[in-house]
């Protein structure tokens, strides 16, 4: 099994777009962010249409661990230090309201999505001072939580924070209910955006004319204006689906560097972690490391599935929700959820629906993308820049020594072939799939991900299968396929 939520939920299918159309609001992307935005707009009497490249919830939403929580790692101390107490409180309040809104909506509409109230624990097995600081910051932000020192915890733990009134659910069962009555087009890949005319073009060449456009496609594929490529990268995580484990009532997150995250669902345990920046998994073996870690908790578990997925990481740990760019009227964005897209989608959909329906101006909000003025973009470029420079310069400077015939069966890598640098995957029968290693997005050099048999970009996280077909945005083009031999 590679997708627990998909395996436990039958979502309906939708036709692809087969003609040019005009819509009031065009939403690009049918993950939780896009679907909730369409739902909120419908509640306000505004018609929106969702355009989804594949099937709804086939992106990160289909693979999330689905904790509905405001315990977003060590965040509140950081926000107080880097923004202000007032902004940190704003972040906490929005997330608190988002949790309550899930509960109210699910109760009101009687949605059967295994929504369960629970506590959320952050813990460390190394030390506790960072958790103590985080606890004090969370209290200042008005969050209900309790600090637990090692005397109150099982032996291996040094400290923990327990956040009450959190929740977990099955996100696809939730989506199955709220999509009723929404206008959705699947297998409709948006390839071009014209901001002046508010026009989108699909990969089949159909035109969509809209009064307003919402980018809810995870990593926006438009580079300028907005400059999201300078202020966001993607991070991959790996997840095991296990049976025969203890049923956990609550949800857990390790705040040490591997970020192990786990929760139960029905008879299953989802156990995730081993995060890395997309494009930086040369060594591989992430599932093996996860198995070893899980065995330290429960040596009798039975593995029934595994998968990996990725999310957008903003430069300052806060999502970008609001106007896509100050220079683009009527174009909105929800992105940069930092692996906390359940509450972020809920609060983000409220913000965008209010902006569209009653002209809410969120410029002063902590979530506003324009908190990044030119100075901010330059600062973020300094942080993200080295990755791009490294990724770009490798393309020109680094010619590999490895030859095609030296590559073992079942392996991939960058090799010299016909005097040129190429990417190759050699399958178990010796067939070679040869592609360019230049990312079609902005030209960085791709690297081989041995755990997923994919070509991944370290700059902004685009991914391609070994045939060069695009798996993850922001690239809208496939990789150049050179040869099969
Ligand atoms: C391992 C892991 C665990 C997580 N666990 C949690 C958790 O416990 N709690 C939590 O709050 N968050 C969690 N998250 C984060 C959360 O799952 C995501 O932030 C959220 O699902 C993102 O939703 P989305 O709608 O923005 O993106 P997606 O679900 O990725 O949806 C975007 C959609 O846009 C489509 N699309 C892309 N480009 C185009 C295009 N050009 N044209 C048309 N369509 C396009 C894609 O096909 C996709 O379906 C986790 C993330 C990871 C990686
Ligand atoms: S994803 Fe931007 S250069 Fe590859």
Over the stretch 327-371, which tens digit does the pLDDT of each residue have?
Answer: 999 999 999 999 999 999 999 999 999 999 999 999 999 999 999
What are the residues facing 415 on neighbouring strands?
422
pLDDT > 70 fraction of the chain, expressed in percent and rounded: 94
Conformational region of residue 290, where left means phi above 0, alpha means psi within -120 to 50, and beta covers everything else: alpha
Say whether pLDDT at 377 is over 80. no
Residues 62, 3: Cα–Cα separation, whole Å: 7
CA dihedral 204, 207, 211, 214 (to 10 degrees): 20
- Rg of the Cα trace of the chain? 22
Q: How far is CA 297 from the centre of its chain?
A: 27
Residue owning the nearest CA to atom 2 of ligand 1:
64
Residues 284, 54: Cα–Cα separation, whole Å: 28
Say whether pLDDT at 142 is over 70. yes
Instruction: Identify the H or E element spanning 176.
Output: helix 171-178
Give residue 86's pLDDT: 97
Domain with CATH 3.30.9.10 in the chain: 76-92+106-169+233-314
Provide the H-helix boundaries in 109-170.
129-140
Residues 251, 453: Cα–Cα separation, whole Å: 31
| Range 96-100 average pLDDT | 98
Instruction: Identify the H or E element spanning 418.
Output: none
Give residue 384's pLDDT: 66
> Which ligand has the shortest distance to the CA of 441?
2
Domain with CATH 3.50.50.60 in the chain: 13-64+173-230+317-372
Cα-to-centroid distance, 461 and ligand 2 (Å): 6
Strand order in the sheet with 470-472: 447-449, 454-456, 463-465, 470-472
Give residue 419's pLDDT: 85
Architecture of domain 13-64+173-230+317-372: 3-Layer(bba) Sandwich (3.50)
Domain with CATH 2.102.10.10 in the chain: 397-484
Q: Which CATH number fits domain 397-484: 2.102.10.10, 1.20.1070.10, 2.60.40.10, 3.40.47.10?
A: 2.102.10.10
Q: Which of 132-141, 307-316, 384-393 has the lowest mean pLDDT?
A: 384-393
CATH code, 76-92+106-169+233-314: 3.30.9.10
> Which ligand has the shortest distance to the CA of 446?
2
Between residues 141 and 384, the one the model is more confident about: 141
Give residue 258's pLDDT: 86
- Scan for tokens 């699947």, then name that residue: 186
Residue ranges of E strands in 30-144: 48-51, 67-68, 116-124
Question: Is ligand 2 within 6 A of the CB of residue 313?
Answer: no
| Range 74-92 average pLDDT | 97
Q: What is the mean pLDDT of the chain?
A: 94
Structure tokens at 65: 């661990």
Structure tokens at 161: 């924070």
Residue owning the nearest CA to atom 3 of ligand 2:
442
Question: Is ligand 2 within 6 A of the CB of residue 233?
Answer: no
Cβ distance 49 to 23 under 8 Å?
yes
Residues 132, 467: Cα–Cα separation, whole Å: 49
- Scan for tokens 């070994």, then name that residue: 466
Q: Which of 118, 339, 452 to mutate to test the pocket of ligand 1 (most atoms within 8 A of CB)?
A: 339
Atom of ligand 2 nearest to the CA of 444: 3
Q: How far is CA 417 from the centre of its chain?
A: 35
Residues 358, 45: Cα–Cα separation, whole Å: 12
Give residue 430's pLDDT: 95
Using one digit for the tens of pLDDT, what is the confidence trace for 395-445?
Answer: 545 666 677 888 999 999 999 888 889 999 999 999 999 999 999 999 999
Give residue 374's pLDDT: 47
Instruction: Provide the pLDDT confidence category of residue 224 given band limits of 50, 70 and 90.
Output: very high
Cα-to-centroid distance, 331 and ligand 1 (Å): 20
């Amino acid at each position: 099994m590679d997708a627990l939520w998909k395996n436990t939920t039958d979502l309906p299918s939708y036709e692809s777009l087969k003609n040019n159309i005009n819509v009031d609001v065009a939403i690009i992307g049918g993950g939780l962010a896009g679907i909730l935005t369409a739902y909120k707009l419908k509640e306000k009497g505004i018609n929106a249409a969702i355009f989804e490249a594949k099937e709804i919830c086939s992106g990160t939403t289909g693979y999330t661990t689905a904790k509905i929580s405001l315990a977003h790692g060590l965040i509140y101390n950081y926000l107080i230090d880097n923004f202000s107490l007032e902004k940190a409180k704003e972040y906490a309040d929005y997330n608190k309201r988002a949790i309550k809104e899930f509960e109210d909506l699910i109760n009101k509409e009687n949605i059967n999505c295994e929504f369960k109230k629970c506590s959320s624990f952050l813990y460390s097995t190394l030390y506790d001072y960072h958790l103590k600081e985080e606890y004090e910051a969370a209290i200042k932000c008005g969050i209900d939580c309790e600090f637990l020192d090692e005397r109150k915890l099982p032996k291996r733990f040094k400290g923990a924070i327990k956040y009450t009134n959190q929740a977990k659910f099955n996100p696809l069962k939730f989506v199955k209910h709220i999509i009723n009555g929404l206008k959705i087009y699947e297998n409709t890949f948006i390839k071009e955006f014209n901001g002046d005319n508010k026009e989108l073009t699909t990969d089949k060449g159909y035109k969509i004319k809209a009064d307003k456009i919402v980018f809810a496609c995870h990593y926006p594929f438009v580079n300028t204006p907005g400059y999201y490529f300078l202020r966001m990268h993607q991070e991959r995580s790996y997840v095991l689906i296990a049976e025969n484990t203890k049923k956990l009532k609550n949800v857990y997150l390790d705040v040490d560097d591997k970020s192990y995250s786990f929760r139960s669902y029905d008879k299953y345990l989802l156990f995730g972690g081993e995060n890395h920046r997309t494009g930086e998994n040369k060594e591989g073996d992430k599932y093996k490391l996860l198995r070893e870690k899980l065995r330290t908790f429960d040596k009798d578990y039975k593995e029934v599935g595994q998968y990996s997925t990725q999310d957008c990481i903003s430069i300052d740990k806060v999502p970008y929700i609001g106007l896509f760019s100050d220079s683009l009227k009527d174009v909105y964005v929800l992105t940069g959820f930092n692996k906390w897209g359940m509450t972020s989608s809920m609060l983000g959909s409220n913000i965008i629906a209010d902006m569209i329906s009653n002209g809410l101006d969120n410029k002063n909000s902590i979530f506003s993308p324009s908190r990044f003025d030119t100075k901010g973009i330059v600062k973020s470029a300094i942080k993200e820049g080295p990755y791009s420079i490294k990724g770009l310069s490798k393309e020109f400077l680094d010619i590999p020594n490895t030859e095609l015939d030296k590559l073992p069966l079942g392996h991939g890598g960058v090799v010299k072939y016909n005097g040129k640098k190429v990417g190759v995957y050699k399958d178990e029968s010796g067939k070679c799939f040869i592609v360019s290693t230049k990312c079609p997005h902005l030209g960085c050099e791709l690297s081989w991900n041995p755990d997923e048999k994919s070509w991944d970009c370290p700059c902004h996280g685009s991914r391609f299968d070994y045939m060069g077909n695009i798996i993850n945005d922001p690239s809208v083009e496939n990789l150049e396929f050179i040869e099969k031999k």
